[in-house]
Amino acid sequence: MEKPQYHIATLRGGLRVVATRLPGDVSYIGLAVRAGSRNEDNEHEGLAHFVEHTLFKGTRHRKSWHISCRMEQVGGELNAYTTKEETMIYTNAPAGHAERAIELIADLVKNSNFPEAEIEKEREVIIEEIQSYKDSPSESVYDEFEELIYKGSPLAHNILGTPESVRRLTSADARSFIDSLYTPEDMVLYVCDPGDPEKNIRLAEKYFGDLDYSTSNRPDAPLPPVEPFDEVRDHGNHQANTIVGTRLFSRNDPRRHALCLLNNYLGGPCMNSRLNMELRERRGLVYTVESNVSLLSDTGLILFYFGTDPASVNRCIAIIRKELLKVADSSLSERVFARIRDQYLGQMIVGSDHRESRCMSLAKSMLYYNEIHDIHSVTENIRNVTPKQFREMAQLIITNGLNRLTLK
């Protein structure tokens, strides 16, 4: 793969911009913001997600209809998502409309006024979204697991909030959240476009350069230790949806590359993952089994999810432990380990062909590391993982102990 050239600039107000020339007919432009549900207090649970929804409902210059049509009129789209630590506002559109996209995103951040009539309508949409998650135990089990493993921290509460907390949120709360947390130092704009990157940086300066919000105040209270748990909650479901997992290190830890490799080997998306082979293909115990790594600025998780008959839950957990022990106790030959590593590298390269995700990752790596971690640098780090580091990750998970939550 030819390594792209990245143009990185800091605007006069402090906003960082990463621009690259992306050949083709589509532009990908967005703003990554280091603000998510962990920045909410108990009275405002769901506020970050509420802002994401209502940001598009009006500015001092545009009504909701004009915002939704601005990119769609040229065949593009405007969207956003929220996590525990970030919000992403992004567009994609036919090439040639970079200025339109940059100006629109700047208007949303600087001038959204959250009109009451629009807020009330969207509030009900968000509450319906919350209820839909409750109707899906395979999704809600993740939220309930995190409530337990992050107990005593803002990370514990659901990103969506509760119907009661969402009903309390106001236009003033939404605007205050932006003014406090959407600060230049905590945002990165990405522009991936077939046009001139330096021209796009000048457009960013034109529309974002005057941001002058004060430096955000982010208290960094240490996370309380995990209180080990092993819970079964009966919701009257036919299937038992189970997560076992443990807390680990942050996204800044150099061991993250070995962890991601182990995660892919055990429960990645391929049919030959160890847990899919053992739980589904050989024993027919589950329809779905997967593992996930989620790393944040000061902590992280590895989670193993499966859905099975309630009578088979403990058997499935025992097999997960067995597979972890096999890795922890084994001395993998270089040949076997190379196959594991090469499969993951191949998956990463195929995944990097998704242009929109690749462009977003540029902004996120600047946001969290202040440097570009692209497919080239990440694959190089994976190539450097050793069998010993691979085993040590399994040993760490076993040492930490697996917490369990089952919804049935």
C-beta of residue 145 within 8 angstroms of C-beta of residue 302: no
| 121: three-class secondary structure by DSSP | helix
Amino acid letter, residue 132: S
SS3 105: helix
Q: Which amino acid makes up residue 254?
A: P
| Closest by Cα among 185, 222, 180 to 48 | 180
Cα dihedral: 370, 373, 374, 376 (round 10):
140
Helix (H, G, I), strand (E, B) or coil at 346: helix
Percent of the chain at pLDDT > 70 equals 97
What does the pLDDT read at residue 383?
Answer: 96
CA nearest neighbour of 95 among 5, 199, 233, 210: 199
Q: Which long-range contacts (CB under 8 A, 24 or more apart) does 325-332 make?
A: 325/394, 325/398, 327/262, 327/265, 327/266, 327/390, 327/391, 327/393, 327/394, 328/391, 328/394, 328/395, 328/398, 329/391, 330/391, 331/387, 332/387, 332/390, 332/391
**pLDDT score for 83:** 97
172/405 Cα distance (integer angstroms): 37
- Beta 16-21 vs 87-94: how paired, if at all? unpaired
Tokens of 104: 């629109």
pLDDT at residue 220 above 80? no
Say what percent of the chain tops pLDDT 90.
89
* Cβ–Cβ under 8 Å, residues 100 and 93: yes
Q: State mean pLDDT over 2-21.
A: 91
Question: 41 by DSSP, 3-state: which?
Answer: coil
Least-confidence region, from 79-93, 309-323, 331-345? 331-345
Centroid of chain to Cα 251: 12
Task: Compute the distance between CA of residue 227 and CA of residue 14 in angstroms, rounded to an integer.
Answer: 41
The pLDDT value given to residue 2: 59
Residue of 389, 361, 363, 390 whose CA lies nearest to 375: 361
Number of Cβ atoms within 10 Å of the Cβ of 288: 14
Sort strands 187-193 and 77-82 into parallel, antiparallel or unpaired. unpaired
Supply the pLDDT for residue 4: 78
Strand partners of residue 304? 244, 291
Q: Is 1 a residue whose pLDDT tops 60?
A: no
Residue 212 binned pLDDT confidence (cut-offs 50, 70, 90): confident
Question: What DSSP designation does 63 have?
Answer: B
Structure tokens, 406:
């089952």
Note whether 116 and 187 are within 8 A (CB). Answer: no
pTM: 0.93
pLDDT in tens, 106-164: 999 999 999 999 999 999 999 999 998 877 888 999 999 999 999 999 999 999 999 99
| Average predicted confidence (pLDDT) for the chain | 94
236 or 111: which leads in pLDDT: 111
Residues 29-83: tens digit of each pLDDT: 999 999 999 999 889 999 999 999 999 999 999 999 999 999 999 999 999 999 9
| Contact yes or no for 405/145 (Cβ under 8 A) | yes
The mean-pLDDT minimum among 1-15, 146-160, 280-294 falls in 1-15
Edge to edge, the sheet with strand 403-407 lists 230-233, 403-407, 240-248, 300-308, 286-295
pLDDT digits (tens, 9 = 90+) for 17-28: 999 999 999 999
Of 292-301, 316-325, 330-339, 364-373, least confident by mean pLDDT is: 330-339
DSSP structural state of residue 117: H
* pLDDT given at position 215: 61
Indicate the pLDDT class of residue 219, thresholds 50, 70 and 90: low
Is residue 216 pLDDT above 70, yes or no? no
Main-chain dihedrals φ then ψ at residue 2, nearest 5 degrees: -75, 130
